[in-house]
Copies of this chain bind each other. A is one copy, B any other.
Amino acid sequence: MSADKVFHSRSQGIPSEGVKDQYADGKAARVWKKYIGDSNQRTQNYKNFLTGLLKKHNCVKVLDAACGTGIDSMMLVDEGFKVVSVDASDKMLKHALKARWEKRKDHKYDEWIIEEASWETLPEDIQSFLPGATFDAVICLGNSFAHLLDEFEDQRTQKMCLRNFAKVLKPGGLLFIDHRNYDAMINSGATPGHSIYYNCSYPVDIKTSVLVVRGKPELVALDYLIHTNEDAELNEQSMFRLCYYPHELDKFTSMLDEAFDNKAEHSIYADFKALDQVENPAYYIHVMRKPLN
């Protein structure tokens, strides 16, 4: 066989620009939308968890640093938060921009800001369209951060991006950031088909590939096969690959602490519950509270 086939890291038509454009193929974006479900189908668990903590800490201005099609941001706008949404993928942003237009008569949506931005230049990007802005909370959820891979095998880019999240927070502000339970995926070689975030009504088969370099997991490739039987047009496009860096819980925890100079309050949740309440969680959610000074 051709080794290149084994290693082909993207779906056809997706350009080779790493995380910036894993969704650049329009059909992949449409299938992905099918996968994550309708925008009003976010799980209640997720909504209660996120909005509960935001309100408890009096957060008003929220940066959705990985807004995708806008599903999380709209949930927050509906709840009255002032939301700035950014993403690096134009294919994703197009859906968010169209969703906002549909709501143009809804006053809550009038101040929703949607812009293209990269985590690597986040403070500068925000400065360019919203000078001086800082936030009560930054969210980077739905396993988004793991899209950022590890080119130099020392996680330097990931560390820089986490510091950028910290920078745009006000003192006392909250960072919500999550990752799949990669420890379990590495050990089992399998990925759970369902999500704590999405209400996907289609059966999903996920083929899990782990690349281990010098004994260290460096990449997970997930080949999604989504059976969208009732939708003949999408059928042939229902397989695509996404690649992730497999964050292990203890290493990610340390890296996140360092991004806040080990001074932030750090809480870890398992599938939106206390860590000891879930035996084999699908996701870990970290909440960092930036120190007040």
Contacts and interface: CB of A to CB of B under 8 A. Distances in A.
A207 B211 contact: no
Contacts of A94: 90, 93-94, 97, 116
Copies of this chain present in the complex amount to 4
Contacts of A15: 13-15, 24-25
Nearest to A150: B1
A3 interface: yes
Nearest to A25: B15
A166 interface: no
Interface string A237-251: 000000100000000
B243 A215 contact: no
Contacts of A211: 6-7, 209-212
Interface stretch (A47-55, A98-106, A173-181): A98-106
A8 interface: yes
A4 interface: yes
Interface residues of A, number: 55
A218 B212 CA distance: 12
B189 A3 contact: no
Contacts of A9: 3-4, 6-7
Contacts of A148: 1
Contacts of A214: 189-190, 207-209
Interface string A106-144: 000010001010000000000000000000000000000
A95 to B, nearest CB: 9
B213 A208 contact: yes
Contacts of A91: 90
A1 B210 contact: no
Nearest to A104: B104
Interface of A: 1-10, 13-19, 24-26, 90-91, 93-94, 97-98, 100-101, 104, 110, 114, 116, 148-152, 157, 188-190, 207-216, 218-219, 221, 243
Given A13-B16, A94-B116, 7 more contacts: A1-B152, A2-B17, A6-B219, A13-B17, A15-B24, A94-B94, A211-B212
15 contacts: A1-B150, A3-B9, A4-B9, A4-B10, A6-B213, A13-B17, A14-B15, A90-B94, A94-B97, A97-B98, A190-B214, A208-B213, A209-B212, A209-B214, A211-B212
